[in-house]
Structure 1
């Protein structure tokens, strides 16, 4: 059964995947899940989260501003477009399709202590020790290596690698990785406000809100909405890990997987015979040219400093402290 449930991982938006099952097999698993949930709709997003390791199993030790912390209280387990992540300092409402689950997730988020940074300093930082999963674990992976994947994003944005404009970092085993985050604040003169957005190449808050028809705008948010609209155009539904609580859209289920797989080949543009596609199929490959950065606010840049972690020092094994 575990092997069959791996087909749910194809709802993630990782490119270059091949279909695991045919349509009839997907239909049988679809009916099985319907019966398991008492002939009511099942949430692929919540199932994927329940099948993933808890954050306390992955982030086993931590220090915040020089003091040890309970990492289980600081991290939230949330499905994203590419996998289930343990998210630190997250401040975005739940994406579950069920109201009771959304309320439970939001209560959990409000209970997590807020960490506010004031400067880039070793004395004003967080340090975490990550624990790898054993080889016999059934966790489904997409990368050829087994490094940890860290995605950096603003705390109000949806955590998606496909949209993030800040970046990702791969942390190998037995290494210490320092990630300074440098903010750059910017603003624009009043005269710029009268220039059309397509010329100044940025949006003011009220313009971005009108574009997305929601109160929050960012470049990442616009790219997220663009991808969701592209899925709906092509398949009539959105992949459950991508659906947002603020969007009134239908969620794709197992019988929709073949269409989503076809959407991915078009969106990512790796079809070797694209000249044979019909014009309708190009609806999926949006360029998202309407998505622009904000005209004032803060921009973040990241760098990494990597050093190997020695298991011993002068023939002495680490027994105490964060490196134990």
Structure 2
């Protein structure tokens, strides 16, 4: 039965996932889960979370600013678009489809103490010990290696792993990884607000809220909503791990899984026979051009310093440090998070000039280098167009017969009314 439940992992948005069961087997498993939940709708998202290991089994120890902490109270287990993750310092409301479950998750989140980073010293950093799952565990993995996957994202964003804009780190087993974090603040002046978003390439909070029709906006949030709309256009429902509590959408069940698998082939663009797709199928492959970053906010720059973790011998234990009393029976890793510097860089976008000032400066540069002005361009156009037009018009309208007995310059040399001498051959 556990092997058949692994088919639920296909609801994750891993691009290279292959089908596990045919349509008839999915229908039988759907009816089984439907009857297990007393002929009511079942939540694939909650089932995936209940089947995954607890955070206390993954993050076994921790130190926050030099003081030991209970990691089970600091980490929340939440399903993401790619897996069920243990999330630290999370402040997003629950996105379960059931009201009672959302209330439980929100109460659990409020009970978690909030950690505020204040120091850039590695001695006062946030440190955690990660422990791998045993070999007999049937946890489904999608990476080619067995490394721990660490993702850094804002507190209020949906914990997505495909479109994160901050950073993702793979932590190998039996290593010590130091992760210095450097924030960079960016703001925009009031004059920039008058420039259209497609020109300044960013959104202010009120513009992003109107775009997503919700109070919170970020680039990751916009990409999430874009993918959800693409799923609804193609399959009429959304994958359960992706749906947010604020979105009134239908969640896909097991019978809808083949359509989601087809959607992934179109969205990620690895179908070898794309020329056979109909026009309607291209609705799934959206480009999300409307998703832009925020004009005011903060971005994080992360780096990693990796060192090997000394292993114990003859089944002994560690005697000092954060690993005191632990063995190497299962793979371990140590994570250290701290600020890199005591200061942070801040940038501000300002409106340098309008189109009138830019045109004035452009003309000034040309006049300085070439002796040109805007009037010079008008004169050139006049000589190229108006002068030739006038010459052609006069040549067509002048019908007076010309005298062949006078030279070309005779009229200009002799006064008016005087006749010159006749010319002889």
Bigger shift: 112-121 or 168-177?
A: 112-121
Per the TM alignment, residue 314 of structure 1 is displaced from its structure 2 partner at its CA by: 15
Per the TM alignment, residue 173 of structure 1 is displaced from its structure 2 partner at its CA by: 0.7
Does structure 2 retain, via aligned residues, the 8 Å contact 1:91–1:156? Answer: yes
Bigger shift: 102-111 or 271-280?
A: 271-280
User: Matches of 2:124 and 2:292 in 1, distance apart?
Assistant: 33
Q: CA offsets, 1:216-252, max 9 Å, x none?
A: 0011110111111111111000000000001000000
The equivalent residue for 2:347 is none
**SS of residue in 1 equivalent to 2:233:** helix
Does structure 2 retain, via aligned residues, the 8 Å contact 1:117–1:124? Answer: no
Per the TM alignment, residue 310 of structure 1 is displaced from its structure 2 partner at its CA by: 1.2
Per the TM alignment, residue 276 of structure 1 is displaced from its structure 2 partner at its CA by: 1.6
Q: CA offsets, 1:268-304, max 9 Å, x none?
A: 0101111221111111111111000111111111111
Q: CA offsets, 1:88-117, max 9 Å, x none?
A: 000000111000000000000000010001
Does structure 2 retain, via aligned residues, the 8 Å contact 1:15–1:264? Answer: yes
Q: Under a length normalisation based on structure 2, what TM-score does the superposition of the two structures give?
A: 0.74
Bigger shift: 180-189 or 304-313?
A: 304-313
Q: Under a length normalisation based on structure 1, what TM-score does the superposition of the two structures give?
A: 0.97
Per the TM alignment, residue 28 of structure 1 is displaced from its structure 2 partner at its CA by: 0.5
User: Matches of 2:120 and 2:313 in 1, distance apart?
Assistant: 28
Bigger shift: 184-193 or 36-45?
A: 184-193
User: Matches of 2:35 and 2:313 in 1, distance apart?
Assistant: 58
**SS of residue in 1 equivalent to 2:299:** strand
The equivalent residue for 1:165 is 165
Per the TM alignment, residue 189 of structure 1 is displaced from its structure 2 partner at its CA by: 1.4
Bigger shift: 276-285 or 312-321?
A: 312-321
Q: CA offsets, 1:124-171, max 9 Å, x none?
A: 421000011111111111111111001110010001111211121100
Structure 2, unpaired ranges of 5+: 324-424
Per the TM alignment, residue 318 of structure 1 is displaced from its structure 2 partner at its CA by: 2.6
Residues 1:121 and 1:39: Cα distance change in structure 2 (over 3 Å): same
User: Matches of 1:104 and 1:317 in 2, distance apart?
Assistant: 39
Does structure 2 retain, via aligned residues, the 8 Å contact 1:94–1:105? Answer: yes
User: Matches of 1:209 and 1:285 in 2, distance apart?
Assistant: 24
Residues 1:315 and 1:102: Cα distance change in structure 2 (over 3 Å): closer
How do 1:30-109 residues align onto structure 2 when only pairs under 5 Å count? 30-109=30-109
Residues 1:313 and 1:49: Cα distance change in structure 2 (over 3 Å): closer
Structure 1 outlier segments of 4+, above 3 Å: 312-317
Could you say what the CA RMSD is over the residues aligned between the two structures, in angstroms?
7.1
The equivalent residue for 1:304 is 304
**SS of residue in 2 equivalent to 1:207:** helix
Per the TM alignment, residue 312 of structure 1 is displaced from its structure 2 partner at its CA by: 5.4
User: Matches of 1:292 and 1:273 in 2, distance apart?
Assistant: 32
Per the TM alignment, residue 118 of structure 1 is displaced from its structure 2 partner at its CA by: 2.1
Residues 1:5 and 1:123: Cα distance change in structure 2 (over 3 Å): same
User: Matches of 2:62 and 2:220 in 1, distance apart?
Assistant: 29
**SS of residue in 1 equivalent to 2:263:** helix
User: Matches of 1:291 and 1:121 in 2, distance apart?
Assistant: 37
Larger radius of gyration: 2
Residues 1:258 and 1:120: Cα distance change in structure 2 (over 3 Å): same
Does structure 2 retain, via aligned residues, the 8 Å contact 1:311–1:317? Answer: no
Q: Give the aligned length.
A: 324
Does structure 2 retain, via aligned residues, the 8 Å contact 1:63–1:128? Answer: yes
User: Matches of 2:13 and 2:288 in 1, distance apart?
Assistant: 17
